[in-house]
Amino acid sequence: MGGYTSQELTAIFVMQGFSGLSLFCVFLLMALGLAIIFGQMGVINMAHGEFLTLGAYITWMVSELATETWPWMQEFYFPLAVVLAFAGTFILGYLVEMLLIRRLYSRPLDTLLATWGLGLILQQIYRSTFGPREVSVVMPDWLMGSWAPTDIIDIPLNGLFVMGITSLMTLLVVILLYRSRWGIKVRATTQNRAMANAAGINTQRVDRFTFALGCGIAGVAGAAFTTIASTGPTTGSLYIVDTFLVVVFGGAASLLGTVVSAFGIAQSQSILEFFLSGSMAKVITLLTVVGILMFRPQGLFASKVRR
């Protein structure tokens, strides 16, 4: 790194650290919903990305409405959009569980195919409804641009925003899972469905709510990602591979595992990208993950579930 002042190098170091952190938040936010569904219920939801897309489209609709109908709302619509994105995807998730997933609990491979098909159907519905072209969500001014603590450091505001949402959602999920009656029921159902049933837990209702919640979180992720990336019918598929990677690498049933794995993958990706090219960074990250999974097939943090 010849020819650079130490001040410049510090600035780059700070910004690079932030870039890794924001990638971590993106990974974590999209993996949270899947961690609940895949981790707690064992359902491989291939349509997870399409729930994310729905959240993004809901955000776009609210933004259009705000720009065209209520211009005064322009600055404030975003929080409302996030809430609506959650509500919309939660409801869709609830219906999907009721009509489709519920019938396939004992057949994991069929679930995989069924949800993949569902994903394709949803993609085409988005395409027919919103058109095949990508749409752009108009950002409120407070989400644009960057915060510059010094002359040469720029911290993107939308990155900070995604970080905020990720922290909030993670906190909510932790509280729900480990500090609420519903969480106790979910964990009981995960550990031993028959016993949970016998103890008077309505496992069917628990399943339905768990699935819907996971989808709702995907919707929030979709809303948050409109600030950093594209909104189109296939947006969700940009994230789905990384999402599964994070969840599988972390150990399916462990929330802590998801957090650690998202952090590890994001940081190594981000650091490698800085020293190598983007494609090589991806190759090395994936090879490392595959290598580690060969020795720890159950993921970083194995759960102690009796099978």
**Torsion, Cα of 104, 107, 113, 116 (10° steps):** 50
Region of 64-72, 163-171, 191-199, 220-228 interacting with other proteins (CB under 8 A): 220-228
The rounded Cα 134 to chain-centroid distance in angstroms is 20
* Cβ–Cβ under 8 Å, residues 202 and 283: no
Does the footprint of other proteins cover residue 231 (CB under 8 A)? yes
Nearest distance from C-beta of residue 50 to other proteins, angstroms? 14
Contacts with other proteins, 154-193, as mask; x by CB under 8 A? x-xxxx----------------------------------
Per-state percent for the chain, helix, strand, coil, to nearest 5: 75, 0, 25
Select from 108, 117, 131, 149 the one that contacts other proteins (CB under 8 A). 131
Our finding on whether 117 is near other proteins (CB under 8 A) is no
Among the listed residues 61, 83, 229, 293, the single contact to other proteins using CB under 8 A: 229
E strand map for the chain: 146-147, 155-156
Is 191 in contact with 39 (CB distance < 8 Å)?
A: no
Alpha-carbon span 58 to 78, nearest angstrom:
11
Q: Does 98 bind other proteins (CB under 8 A)?
A: no
Q: How far is the CB of 178 from other proteins (least distance, A)?
A: 30
Q: Note whether 247 and 239 are within 8 A (CB).
A: no
Q: Which of 7, 136, 180, 202 binds other proteins (CB under 8 A)?
A: 136
Spatial contact of 217 and 36, defined as CB atoms under 8 Å apart: yes
Q: Is 65 in the site for other proteins (CB under 8 A)?
A: no
Q: Is 40 in the site for other proteins (CB under 8 A)?
A: no
# binding residues, other proteins (CB under 8 A): 54
Q: Counting contacts by CB under 8 A, is residue 228 touching other proteins?
A: yes
Q: What is the dihedral of CA 177, 179, 181, 183, to 10 degrees?
A: 10
Indicate whether 142 belongs to the interface with other proteins (CB under 8 A).
no
Residue 11 corresponds to which tokens in the numbers above?
A: 């600035």
Note the residues at the interface with other proteins (CB under 8 A). 4, 8, 12, 15-16, 18-20, 22-23, 26, 124, 127, 131-139, 144-146, 148, 154, 156-159, 225, 227-235, 237-239, 269-271, 273-274, 277-279, 281-282
